Amino acid sequence: MSDVAKAPVLVIRGGTVVDGTGAPGYRADVAVSGGRIVAIGPDLAGDTELDATGCVVSPGFIDIHTHYDAQVFWDPALTPSCYHGVTTVVAGNCGFSIAPTRPGDRELIAHTLEKVEDMDPASLNAGIPWEFESFPEYLGTVERHGSVLNYAAYIGHTPLRIYVMGDEASGRTATRDEIDRMAALVTEAMEAGAAGFATSFAVTHLGADGQPIPSRWADRAEIEGLCRAVADTGRGVIGINGTSDGMRFEQLYDMQLEMGIPFTFTALLTTNTGAHLKALEIHERGMARGAQVYPQVSCRPLSFSMTMVEPFTLNTSPIFAELMPVSLDDRRAAYADHAWRDRVREGWAAGKGLPPRWDTYEIMESTANPDLVGRRLLALADERGVDPFDLLLDLTIAEADLRQIRVKAVLANDDQDGIAVLLQADGCTLGLSDAGAHVGQLCDAPLATDLLGNWVREKGVLTLEHAIHKLTQQQADIFGFTDRGVVRDGAIADLVVFDPATVAPGPLRRVRDFPAGAERLTADQPTGMRHLLVNGTPVVVDGVLDPAAVDARPGELVRPGTR
């Protein structure tokens, strides 16, 4: 008798199995032993049981767009993702891995993550055990420390460029020798188990000095060289965020056909210009040619809750970006300067940066004007007969501390009809939860529970089976995660049990539970989420994270399979 057969058997009793393939659900028990599914059927016997009456039993969800690269070390449960049915995450997105990193560049990496992903440098410095320099050493450190959820990570373009090019990583293209050196590091990372290579050309991604991040300086030859290094290993995925003059969206489909490994693009979101519909047409033409490019779509508006010290969406203006390295006093002086305000407006009129959608701006916090909390900025500006930009800055400089005012603004993806189109589009995949990033500004880790509650149950945009397929098997197939993403005999027992009648994201709340007392938004109280199993170990039971599972850390470092 095998070791698996001798192991205790856990039975998930009385649920409806939706297996991840898109097939109709069916009533069955699921037996788990030795980390694998060992039986599916009626009236199974086991040593212990979990009740799934009235619930769906599905594969654990796979979140392919997270930034848990640092958080995995101090929060191995990767909260709040574990509460929302996620059993596997992919980190290192947008090219922001934290390796390879030389000791002398750690502060630069921390401040880059501060500006781009709203991570507190003090929290990063206190929470990251810098036991690594290379990317293989980083993966080894993650394995030694362990995680509750399964973990995969891209090697990121920004630290890669800094590692090879030093102070010149921002400001110029790479030489042929530098490209070859970076490509060798990508190959090394892939051989160690990296999920792939990720980069960013996004206009929102600015570094600590207010200039474009290192990856945005890369030319076509560099991108092709690094993607080819991944392709030559026969495994992994290329993750690309945004486009540039040298890398247009339609060119991704040509490049993928040349490389032969999957590409995923962040992100295809609805806009008030209708650009998402044009992109969808390009995608459909590319699919017809056989290209495996998977644009990431989201069911949630891209909404930021930001202070005017780090106004993420406004920083796309190069005039705003000039303030990123300056002191708070200098920032206050600029905000008060009407000539500076006119420069910003002139820049927006000339197409420099993303013009704000003032109709979406809302006052969330204000010490100087608490009576304005909850009011829309445009309505206030109309009442006072002033320009909304002037009003925002006047309200900001009225605060004793610029951090004491917070506004919410929608950047994209708030067109409900457009979201429905994108969710149903063939070849698009779910992404952009951004879990682990922008932690003080947004929390979109509840993407899966929002999809199941709002877009499946309430709106009927997707069937339950289709939604679960997009959250599970489709993601596993893109990344080559063998034996995950499905409920079948012999598959790895990554499973989630939820009530389809009540599943919902739950509330957001602001907490201080990160190293160095750093603040974040979290969503750790969803409704309808019952149980979560990772590699056969119950991690969440009856909606409660099991401390024993946190100590046991049953998650694995997941490596993509050879294609």
Quote the tokens at residue 268: 């295809």
> Residues 286, 292, 293, 299: is their CA dihedral positive or negative?
positive
Q: Which domains does the chain have, with CATH numbers?
A: 63-301+413-480 (3.20.20.140), 305-410 (no CATH)
Report how far apart, in Å, the C-alpha atoms of 62 and of each of 59, 187, 212, 342, 415 are: 9, 25, 30, 46, 25
The answer to whether the beta carbons of residues 256 and 291 sit under 8 Å apart is yes
Report how far apart, in Å, the C-alpha atoms of 48 and of each of 140, 204, 488, 495 are: 34, 50, 20, 16
Euclidean distance between CA atoms 63 and 47, whole angstroms: 31
The answer to whether the beta carbons of residues 549 and 223 sit under 8 Å apart is no
The 8-class DSSP code of residue 148 comes to S
> Which residues have a Cβ under 8 Å from the Cβ of 35 and sit 6 or more positions away?
492, 493, 535, 536, 537
Task: Determine if the pTM surpasses 0.75.
Answer: yes
Quote the tokens at residue 34: 């030795």
Euclidean distance between CA atoms 69 and 142, whole angstroms: 9
The pLDDT profile of the chain, 563 residues, written as one tens digit per residue, is: 345 457 999 999 999 999 999 999 999 999 999 999 999 999 999 999 999 999 999 999 999 999 999 999 999 999 999 999 999 999 999 999 999 999 999 999 999 998 888 899 999 999 999 999 999 999 999 999 999 999 999 999 999 999 999 999 999 999 999 999 999 999 999 999 999 999 999 999 998 888 999 999 999 999 999 999 999 999 999 999 999 887 899 999 999 999 999 999 999 999 988 999 999 999 999 999 999 999 999 999 999 999 999 899 999 999 999 999 999 999 999 999 999 999 999 999 999 999 999 999 999 999 999 999 999 999 999 999 999 999 999 999 999 999 999 999 999 999 999 999 999 999 999 999 999 999 999 999 999 999 999 999 999 999 999 999 999 999 999 999 999 999 999 999 999 999 999 999 999 999 999 999 999 999 999 999 999 999 999 999 999 999 999 999 999 999 998 76
Please name the residue ranges forming H helices in 246-374.
249-259, 275-288, 318-321, 328-336, 338-349
Euclidean distance between CA atoms 66 and 444, whole angstroms: 10
